[in-house]
A and B are shown apart, each in its own frame.
Chain A
């Protein structure tokens, strides 16, 4: 089974600054036949279901602001929120869909400093 580990568990960032969240998989989630990383990122605000932000590690879902970006390959991935806004306060989750059982990271809470 693939274990997803996020770091840090929480971070506080000033408005307008950058937030960086890391996600590490216990084995590679890069499918070499199509050169795609099977990783998604979700944003979850209090009292709401998760919302898909990014898939294939770096493809932004439609209508997601371009201050959200994903990068990385193999086992190490990053979600970057540039120019942090107040509405970005949330918990962020990574998920691998490379193999069953699917798995999520433990979540990273982003707050305003």
Chain B
């Protein structure tokens, strides 16, 4: 059974750093790309970027380029999303999802990691 296990909820202050994780199981981790998707409270879905675990090739949405870093450790089947300096506007639910390199629609999603940032 395919599972994407995301790290738990985080409460942070503005300016702090944060790294959240997404661990894949039940499938060949290097066969599928991993995407990160933001959902701000009461809002729609925003694609942040993707990483290909096979070669760590990473692509960012222009809206998130330079704001976050996506990485992967394929030895433990885990992808990461990190911030060096959080803002209040980073408060959101963050989902990881997997898709195929050529056809990146997302059949499997994690349950989400809620990040709350207070000043």
Contact = CB atoms under 8 A, between A and B. Distances in A.
Interface of A: 1, 38, 40, 42, 44, 48-52, 55, 61, 93, 95, 97, 100-107
Query: Chain B's interface: helix, strand, loop or mixed, by majority?
Result: loop
B47 A103 contact: yes
Interface string B40-57: 000011110010000000
A95 B95 CA distance: 15
Contacts of B95: 49-50
Interface of B: 35, 44-47, 50, 59, 61-63, 95, 97, 99, 103-107, 109-112
B79 to A, nearest CB: 15
A107 B109 contact: no
19 contacts: A40-B106, A49-B95, A49-B97, A49-B110, A50-B45, A55-B103, A55-B105, A61-B107, A93-B45, A95-B45, A97-B104, A100-B59, A101-B61, A101-B63, A102-B47, A102-B50, A104-B44, A104-B47, A106-B44
